[in-house]
Chains A and B, each alone.
Chain A
Amino acid sequence: MSAPIQRCKLCQTRSKSLLFSQLRYCNKSFSSSCKLNSATKHNQVEAWQPVIGLEIHAQIKANSKLFSRANTIFGGPTNSQVAFLDAALPGTLPVLNRRCVEAGVITALALGCQINKVSRFDRKHYFYADLPAGYQITQQNNAIANNGRFHYVQYGNKESDIREKAVTILQLQLEQDSGKSLHDDLDKQSLIDLNRAGCGLMEIVTAPEFHSGDEARSFVRDLRQLLVTLGTCDGKMSEGSLRVDANISVHKPGQPLGERAEVKNLNSLSSLKKTIEFEIKRQIAVIESGGRVINETRSFDLDTGETLPMRDKEVQLDYRFMPEPNLPPLRLYHRSDLKGAMHGDKVFIDDLEKNMPVLPQERRGNLMQNYGISMYKAAFIVTENLQDIYEELVSTRNVEAFTNFFINTVAARLLANELTLDQCPIPGKHIGYIYDQYKEENINLTVAEKLIDTLLADSSVDPKEHIRLENLWQINDVAQLTELCKTIIAENPKAVSKLKRGKDRAMNTLMASARKATGDRGNTRIINRIFKELIAQSEGRD
């Protein structure tokens, strides 16, 4: 007996991509291309407003852990980076890491937060094998910073669709990481590695102000870039340095917020977007079929982005927060609070503020203001960390032409070769030289691209020498090109007759032959013109 036909509940399409097979909605139902498209049903689906808040756990880039001096390197030998405190052996006490405090303050300043000059640590109790002490030291009630605002950029389909958006940062707190557990389902056991237990984390909590998976992803992408720029986190999501928990609910505008579900430990940008979109649709489907969304923690499938209820959902969690009795309050100071220079052991907010690097958002704004380029182009240059070399070169050149060349040729070759400028530093003057030669039509675009590839492979190459050695100068001599074109026209009567009949695509055949004949060095603009002239001339004669 064959399987029953699966049809979308809303528009009855038999869809191969019935991703949510339990719920039977096709992807199309939620877009304007839905076959049904009737005002009532379609509006019902579109009227839902998703509400998303994020909790980001960023591992602090420090040599040692938050409360112990064990090493923090990723991938170290199992259980070899564990101090007695991390294993919760009795007789140990937490000793706070100064660098972690500074990292927290720097990040909070960059996020525009209010720094709390007095903050406290709390214990959050729950039992799990990767938490040896049975509690995690965190800052639930009196965190190091609150009430910030972060501006991020969301791209659209077209360059001009780019938008700058902002989100409120509710809290930034310092906390301990737990160990890592590997689940061996076959032998019904878990294997615990405590190397990560006790590492410092910054938990950044946003207000529930996102309304789509794409907004959330854009935010995390820009936040990650900020943290890497500040040097407070290495941003390697694949190594678990940046983990995101999403709280998702849906409601109709004007009505109270819906029940939220939580999805934990999203560790890649793409799965973040996919999973949030799935969860939104799942919740809508549950509510529309008369059910209720349960406040629970869900896990997710890496490939499809489907969310699943967790196995141990019977466990009701009450963390029994209590103040950490072994740690007095953490105090931060401004220089003006204390007189005299004899306070080297304290953390001064002003000192950290003074030494902050220029933030990506500011760099973006500077580029836009100083050179008048679009937000899209400025964002692109800053994201790829190319702003220094760009500013060095663009100041003496035509902004629009150079910017286009820089993005479409230089940056494009970098991305195509999967390299960054840090990895292969090409001297700015070489890039400038290549651009200038291209602008003066001494080399053509293909040669320019090839030159950049050559320089990426070996940055010591001198482009001028290389052009001379490989004979890459563009052929601009009209007489020479005309002879060549005449030959090609003679060799390709079919293409020529097609062109005469108005099939413009036949020009491609002629151009390809010309490219081959000139070794890709011919001035394509001139060649194209010559071909057209010659054909027009011959037409006149015929």
Chain B
Amino acid sequence: MAHYACMFVIRSNQICSRLLNRQLFQCREKFKLPDKPEWIEIDPKALPPETVLDDSTIQLIERLSLVDFNNKEGVERLKSAIKYADQLCVVNTEGLEPMYSVQEHEELFLDEDVVREGNCKQEILRNAVKVEEDYFVTPPGNIPLKQKKLFDKEGS
């Protein structure tokens, strides 16, 4: 009796799992994910040449982005990031419109031209380091960054 009960449980499990599998299989057809990993090796020769980062380029990037690379390790990290992004060049996008946003088909809401904000001077100025007669005080103009050459230093 216990044997039959076991068989029944096992059998019903098998049926259930097969049912589940069929459902999963049907669902999986709609998934873009493959069942098994499909790893494509990228031929290093297909990649563009490794970007050369000389001192003046690093200085320019630092000036434009205000990100401090600090030392050789930081620059290496940048180089590997660029190399990683270079893999995108292998993708064939011929004839495809670029997609800028997943919100492509959303409606851009247009607001009525009514004044509803502002008039909160105290709150706006609250985080300012220095205020003079309700103006934000800032250093003058564009100060050129100090050109330091720490890229050869190891460690931070």
**A residues engaging B (CB < 8 A)?**
62-64, 68-71, 77-87, 95-101, 120, 125, 127-129, 181-185, 188-194, 311-312, 314-316, 318, 320, 323, 325, 327-331, 345-347
Whether the Cβ atoms of B138 and A192 lie closer than 8 Å is: yes
Contact A189 B139, CB 8 Å, known A87-B124, A194-B124: yes
Whether the Cβ atoms of B135 and A78 lie closer than 8 Å is: yes
The interface-forming segment of B12-20, B39-47, B107-115 is B107-115
Kindly list chain A residues whose C-beta atoms are within 8 Å of the C-beta of B135.
Answer: 78-79, 182, 191-193
Min distance, Cβ B57 to any Cβ of chain A, angstroms: 11
Partner of B66, one of A84, A99, A127, A315: A127
Q: Check B144 for interface membership: any CB of A closer than 8 A.
A: yes
Q: Would you give 22 A-B contacts (Cβ < 8 Å), ordered by A?
A: A69-B115, A69-B116, A70-B115, A71-B118, A77-B121, A78-B133, A79-B136, A80-B118, A80-B121, A96-B109, A120-B100, A183-B141, A188-B139, A190-B137, A190-B139, A191-B133, A192-B136, A312-B141, A312-B144, A328-B101, A329-B104, A331-B107
Partner of A82, one of B100, B111, B114, B118: B118
CB-based nearest B residue for A312 = B142
Q: Check B103 for interface membership: any CB of A closer than 8 A.
A: yes
A71 to B112, CA, bound (A): 13
Whether the Cβ atoms of A325 and B101 lie closer than 8 Å is: yes
Contact A323 B100, CB 8 Å, known A71-B115, A78-B134: yes
Contact A191 B132, CB 8 Å, known A96-B110, A345-B110: yes
Whether the Cβ atoms of A191 and B137 lie closer than 8 Å is: yes
B15-69 at interface with A (beta carbon < 8 Å): 60, 63-64, 66
CB-based nearest A residue for B137 = A189
Total A-B pairs, Cβ < 8 A: 143
CB-based nearest A residue for B111 = A95
Whether the Cβ atoms of B121 and A79 lie closer than 8 Å is: yes
B128-151 at interface with A (beta carbon < 8 Å): 132-142, 144
A128 to B143, CA, bound (A): 10
Kindly list chain B residues whose C-beta atoms are within 8 Å of the C-beta of A96.
Answer: 108-111
Whether the Cβ atoms of B134 and A79 lie closer than 8 Å is: yes
User: In the complex, how many residues of chain B place their beta carbon closer than 8 angstroms to a beta carbon of chain A?
Assistant: 39
A444 to B120, CA, bound (A): 63
Kindly list chain A residues whose C-beta atoms are within 8 Å of the C-beta of B106.
Answer: 328
Q: Check B125 for interface membership: any CB of A closer than 8 A.
A: yes
A87 to B110, CA, bound (A): 21
Kindly list chain A residues whose C-beta atoms are within 8 Å of the C-beta of B109.
Answer: 95-96, 345
Min distance, Cβ A135 to any Cβ of chain B, angstroms: 12
Kindly list chain B residues whose C-beta atoms are within 8 Å of the C-beta of A101.
Answer: 110
Q: Check B117 for interface membership: any CB of A closer than 8 A.
A: yes
A68-B117, A328-B105 known, 4 other contacts, Cβ within 8 Å = A70-B115, A86-B118, A101-B110, A128-B142
Q: Check B119 for interface membership: any CB of A closer than 8 A.
A: yes
Whether the Cβ atoms of B118 and A98 lie closer than 8 Å is: no
Kindly list chain A residues whose C-beta atoms are within 8 Å of the C-beta of B136.
Answer: 79, 129, 191-194
Whether the Cβ atoms of A64 and B115 lie closer than 8 Å is: yes
Whether the Cβ atoms of B142 and A331 lie closer than 8 Å is: no
Whether the Cβ atoms of B124 and A69 lie closer than 8 Å is: no
